[in-house]
Amino acid sequence: MTMERREFLKVIGAAGAGAGLFGCSTQGPERLLPYMIAPEDVIPGVATWFRTTCRECPAGCGMEIRTREGRAVKAEGNPLSPIGHGRLCARGQASLHGLYNPDRIPQALARAGEDWEPISWDEAEQRLVAALQQAGGRTVFLTSGQSGTMDRLLDEWTAAFGIERVRFDAFALEPVRAANRLLFGQDVLPSHDFSNAEVVVSFGADFLETWLSPVDYAHGFTRAHAFANGRRGRFVWVGPHQSLTGLNADDWLPARPGTEHLVALAMARVVADQGGQAGPAAAFLRQVDVGAYAEQAGVPEERIRQIARAFANGGRSLAVGPGVSSSSRAATALAAAVALLNYVAGNIGRTVRLDRPELGSGGSYQAVRDLFARMSRGEIGALLVYGPNPLYSVPLGDDAAAALERVPFIASFNTFLDETSTRAHLLLPDHHFLESWGDYVPRPGVYSLVQPVMNPVFQTKQTGDVLLSVARRAGVALPTAAATFYDYLRETWQRDVFPRVGPLPEPPAGSAAAMEAAAAQALQSPFENWWRRALQLGVVTAEAPAPAAPPQLSAAALAQLDFSVPEFRGGEGAEYHLIVYPSYRFYDGQLANRPWLQELPDPISKLSWTSWVEVNPETAERLGLVEGSIAEVETPNGRAELLVWPHPGIRPDTIAIQLGQGHEALGRYAQNRGVNAARLLAPEVEQPSGGLVWQQARATLRNTGRWQRPPESGNATQAGREIARAMTLEEARRAEPVSLAATLAPDRAEAAHGAEPAAGHGEAAGHPMEAVVQELQGVGGFGPAIVPAGPQDYPPPGTHYGEYTATQPRWAMAIDLERCIGCSACVTACYAENNIGIVGPDQIRQGRILHWIRIERYFYGHERHGEDAAHTAEAGEYTPVRFIPMLCQHCGNAPCEPVCPVYAAYHTPDGLNGQVYNRCVGTRYCANNCPYKVRYFNWYTWEWPEPLNWQLNPDVTVREKGVMEKCTFCVQRIRDAQHRARLEGRSVPDGEIVPACAQTCPAEAIVFGNIKDPNSRVARIAASGRGYRVLEGLNTQPGIVYLQQVLPEGVEA
């Protein structure tokens, strides 16, 4: 902390936590720096929240940022946002690592030979003006897809300067736009209502990861899909490779790469025959030969027919696609086939809303490829870059870098020195979005505000302000007179949004906001009052446009599309189709320098900090490859060596590589790590959409004979321990006759009160482990006799737990495995909330990863009683994968506690399993004795390079070397809520305490509360007949109740 940052009071506790001081010694006098003038709305030591909008991907989820003493410390979702529903994905959680990233461009820089020279903003703007005047009309402004006011400013600014604007995003889904343009005359990316889709078929669209609006879709998907009221949705994944989204499917149709559109057409034909509304497409569909198409796709015809019959359910189904992983040379044909399928099934206007499109990304690959061609011909005088990094994210040919060299002047507004920006002459780093003013319109009528939550970390300047200032300096007149982007934003909102949205919901009576508003009412203009309220809400919505009549389908356009099966090109002996697919963690790769995201194990492979090639286990066996083998992948365009990771969810004739790694620039965490799969592709444009052909190549796969221990966490099998359990649909109907929906979602109230659990849990009697436990007890094993009790019966009869009194709550958690999609947002949220160290790949290889909550991913779920039925997916099978969030179970009879020689692991009166860092001497006995393996040891004192340490949560101790740590159920949040309740003279209502993991879960899988209160949500959910406790045969009396996953209809447990 430097003296210039005097606005930030160095307060008791806060600064100390940041400094990482630990123990009773003090290393010199500590200084207390007061504010010069205390800000009115900040109470030192108490969090201040700001609402803004996440800009890590084009979805635009609403955000709430927790700040302490002027620093953002935690990102959460804005519950008012219809896009994020108060939740965030892992990328949104990790946005703070973008804000505080030590590799951000700290100030305006100008190229000086090989190096960069710091210049003032004044000078930087002058240089930009001079360069623009010199280049004249031969300037191009390359921007990512923008929205709202910034988009308007860019348009006005480029028009005023006579500059061409080119939009580009790597995942722009051009084929979806193109198909809707051709078929319906609407060039849009439709929004999708997953919450009303009982049958979902995805043709390679990873809608739980990166596709359009993943948090909204995950939220809606689990609501419609998870078991409730005796019913369960159905989700079918079509494509050669299962990503995280694919592995959540109930059926997998592993179509040959490039044949997904045939499956869609075959389904459309069956739906039409079932009485679907083929309309103008009837003649076209009559030519579809279901049998022949199934044959070509390599999928059993009967399965297609069966799924299609379920799909024809009167507008409560949804087909989505293509995503990047199914964008072959037939991508537009696939998008058209999917649109046709939705049309025939009557989904357009119901689950598919063309009239309410997603903003999505903008531009096209074709445009940026043309731009690079013009650059290499020397036609571009100056290039401005704002957002994208095309040199990294897409293949542009071997001469792409040389093309940039031919541009006399390149200026970049990007926040990182990425591959494209390193070739610039002038760097004008933008603020991070958490430091910026702005707005975002993710869907029509949804206006989400972006407001600064803290002062800028670096000497950066918001690009909107730079553009306005440059226009002034150059004497170019803009349609606005605004001096700053903030003024421009307000002007736009006053003119456009204010009249359209109308009155906003009032703040709750008696609240500070209400009093402030009342006081201000008379003094300020109506817009000023409205604007202040809008900033408090973070997002305002206008009346949703009335649903338009379903658009007319153009049969002529359909007939003109080429539905033939595209080829995958490869050289001699190239046997394997290469699938490249987007990374859930890094999106298009621009997020690869966030250490949390690098550290976060990939939801499927559980690998971190690296790239890998996914190979079917059969193929791997044939080539003598095992996990960690180094294989060489070669396509006509490139060659790469990668770790092998055998994946049961991929066809034997296909291999897959995730995008997002392999950076040559960007920063210390991303550089020279893994492989950029885009380098293996040719710069080929798909027609007629103008998108990139992502799936184009066949590759050779060669075993190098070398092996390296992968930086991996977790196991593929449960080894017969029944950790993640599942039951059949029939069993679930008997076990949970009454819906739990009401307990999970207060806004979908449904009376679940008084539900009698059909079958209590605590199946200790007859449990397979019982004999083992009894044997252990004979030789001094755990605790007293097995008691058939739930966590609410804490403490177990006959036991004695310290100061415990019956008046204390017992904190407990219920986790519904039926809802968990394995996305790992909770893991990232936990990193952020609890100051968890980043250990890096070498330590992970040694099994030293720190994550208080981890997602276990078990592949062979079909085992029973120790029998591993190695289940490789056959064509048309369900891939048996189970996700289970594993964290400290806060056992009532915890094995870790009695073995601690210094009483550092102990039980609190409110049922938490406490870990007292200042007592801990690091014997690690507790971790050894923990059957859940959820205790983590600090082998080193981990470092957070400045300013990453600014993010550290001042409410949580920063641990150092030699200390054991683990999940605390976010005790700092429990204490905070208890303190507030005590001061306000009330009790803590159910739902006020929300741990970080439960807060962010897009699938609403985690519920926390006091299980001794029979009306609490957690108690009501835990009473479900699907409930069980992991390894309860050990009599650990866990405080976490899991609800069993429900298997798809027809799958045997």
Beta bridge partners of 412: 385, 427
Shortest distance, CB of residue 206 to other proteins, whole angstroms? 38
Site for other proteins in 1024-1053 (CB under 8 A): none
- Rounded Cα distance between 642 and 639, Å, is 10
856 is a contact residue toward other proteins (CB under 8 A) = no
CB under 8 A: which stretch of 12-20, 199-207, 272-280, 295-303 binds other proteins? 12-20
Shortest distance, CB of residue 677 to other proteins, whole angstroms? 43
- Rounded Cα distance between 599 and 766, Å, is 41
Shortest distance, CB of residue 585 to other proteins, whole angstroms? 29
975 is a contact residue toward other proteins (CB under 8 A) = yes
CB 489 within 8 A of CB 437: yes
CB under 8 A: which stretch of 295-303, 372-380, 902-910, 1007-1015 binds other proteins? 902-910
Shortest distance, CB of residue 830 to other proteins, whole angstroms? 14
CB 138 within 8 A of CB 380: yes
Interface residue with other proteins among 502, 979, 987, 991 (CB under 8 A) is 979
Q: C-alpha angle 621/626/629, rounded to 5°?
A: 125
Closer CB to other proteins, 152 or 907, in the complex: 907
983 is a contact residue toward other proteins (CB under 8 A) = yes
Shortest distance, CB of residue 934 to other proteins, whole angstroms? 17
CB 758 within 8 A of CB 736: yes
Number of residues that bind other proteins (CB under 8 A): 52
864 is a contact residue toward other proteins (CB under 8 A) = no
Instruction: Map tokens 């001469």 to a residue.
Output: 399
How far CA 686 is from CA of 228, 683, 694, in Å, comes to 42, 10, 9
968 is a contact residue toward other proteins (CB under 8 A) = yes
17 is a contact residue toward other proteins (CB under 8 A) = yes
Interface residue with other proteins among 377, 961, 982, 986 (CB under 8 A) is 982
Tokens of 834: 């609890």
Shortest distance, CB of residue 1027 to other proteins, whole angstroms? 27
DSSP 714: S
Q: How many CA atoms lie within 13 A of 928 on its CB side?
A: 7
188 is a contact residue toward other proteins (CB under 8 A) = no
Closer CB to other proteins, 45 or 922, in the complex: 45
CB under 8 A: which stretch of 212-220, 346-354, 605-613, 912-920 binds other proteins? 912-920
- Rounded Cα distance between 345 and 198, Å, is 13
Which three-class secondary structure string do you get for 982-1010?
HHCCCCCCCCCCCCHHHHHCCCCCEEEEE
Beta bridge partners of 140: 164, 383
CB under 8 A: which stretch of 295-303, 734-742, 915-923, 1020-1028 binds other proteins? 915-923
919 is a contact residue toward other proteins (CB under 8 A) = yes
Interface residue with other proteins among 685, 769, 916, 981 (CB under 8 A) is 916
Tokens of 948: 């990453």
CB 593 within 8 A of CB 662: no
Shortest distance, CB of residue 125 to other proteins, whole angstroms? 27
Closer CB to other proteins, 67 or 494, in the complex: 67
Closer CB to other proteins, 20 or 507, in the complex: 20
Closer CB to other proteins, 26 or 525, in the complex: 26
DSSP 494: I
From 52, 63, 58, 216, select the one nearest 151 (Cα to Cα).
Answer: 58
- Rounded Cα distance between 31 and 6, Å, is 12
456 is a contact residue toward other proteins (CB under 8 A) = no
Which 3 state secondary structure label does DSSP give 691? coil
Shortest distance, CB of residue 328 to other proteins, whole angstroms? 53
943 is a contact residue toward other proteins (CB under 8 A) = no
CB 253 within 8 A of CB 237: yes
918 is a contact residue toward other proteins (CB under 8 A) = yes
Interface residue with other proteins among 272, 956, 997, 1046 (CB under 8 A) is 956
347 is a contact residue toward other proteins (CB under 8 A) = no
Return the H-helix or E-strand segment holding 357.
Answer: strand 352-358
How far CA 150 is from CA of 37, 104, 145, 169, 293, in Å, comes to 33, 22, 10, 16, 47
CB 277 within 8 A of CB 685: no
Shortest distance, CB of residue 51 to other proteins, whole angstroms? 22
Tokens of 434: 């958490």
Closer CB to other proteins, 99 or 967, in the complex: 967
Shortest distance, CB of residue 901 to other proteins, whole angstroms? 15
972 is a contact residue toward other proteins (CB under 8 A) = yes
CB 629 within 8 A of CB 272: no
CB 585 within 8 A of CB 710: no
Shortest distance, CB of residue 513 to other proteins, whole angstroms? 17
512 is a contact residue toward other proteins (CB under 8 A) = no
Shortest distance, CB of residue 910 to other proteins, whole angstroms? 8
Backbone angles phi, psi at 282, to 5 degrees: -55, -45
From 716, 1032, 785, select the one nearest 889 (Cα to Cα).
Answer: 1032
997 is a contact residue toward other proteins (CB under 8 A) = no
Site for other proteins in 793-832 (CB under 8 A): 802-803
958 is a contact residue toward other proteins (CB under 8 A) = yes
Shortest distance, CB of residue 69 to other proteins, whole angstroms? 9
Beta bridge partners of 519: none
CB under 8 A: which stretch of 283-291, 838-846, 849-857, 907-915 binds other proteins? 907-915
765 is a contact residue toward other proteins (CB under 8 A) = no
Shortest distance, CB of residue 912 to other proteins, whole angstroms? 6
908 is a contact residue toward other proteins (CB under 8 A) = yes
- Rounded Cα distance between 814 and 534, Å, is 35
Shortest distance, CB of residue 2 to other proteins, whole angstroms? 12
Closer CB to other proteins, 43 or 292, in the complex: 43
Interface residue with other proteins among 11, 630, 745, 927 (CB under 8 A) is 11
Shortest distance, CB of residue 47 to other proteins, whole angstroms? 10
850 is a contact residue toward other proteins (CB under 8 A) = no
- Rounded Cα distance between 1023 and 546, Å, is 42
Interface residue with other proteins among 906, 932, 936, 950 (CB under 8 A) is 906
38 is a contact residue toward other proteins (CB under 8 A) = yes
Closer CB to other proteins, 750 or 992, in the complex: 992
23 is a contact residue toward other proteins (CB under 8 A) = yes
Shortest distance, CB of residue 918 to other proteins, whole angstroms? 5
Backbone angles phi, psi at 228, to 5 degrees: -160, 140
Backbone angles phi, psi at 481, to 5 degrees: -105, 5
Closer CB to other proteins, 35 or 939, in the complex: 35
Other Cβ atoms less than 10 A from the Cβ of 515: the count is 12
CB-count exposure of residue 751 (10 Å: 0-12, 13-18, 19+): exposed
Shortest distance, CB of residue 823 to other proteins, whole angstroms? 27
How far CA 1003 is from CA of 124, 689, 820, in Å, comes to 46, 33, 6
How far CA 984 is from CA of 745, 828, 980, 987, in Å, comes to 27, 32, 6, 9
DSSP assignments along 392-419, one per residue: HHS---TTHHHHHHT-SEEEE--SB--T
30 is a contact residue toward other proteins (CB under 8 A) = yes
Binding site for other proteins (CB under 8 A): 3, 6, 9, 11-14, 16-17, 19, 21-24, 26, 28-38, 43-46, 802-803, 906, 908-909, 912, 914, 916-919, 955-958, 968, 971-972, 975, 979, 982-983
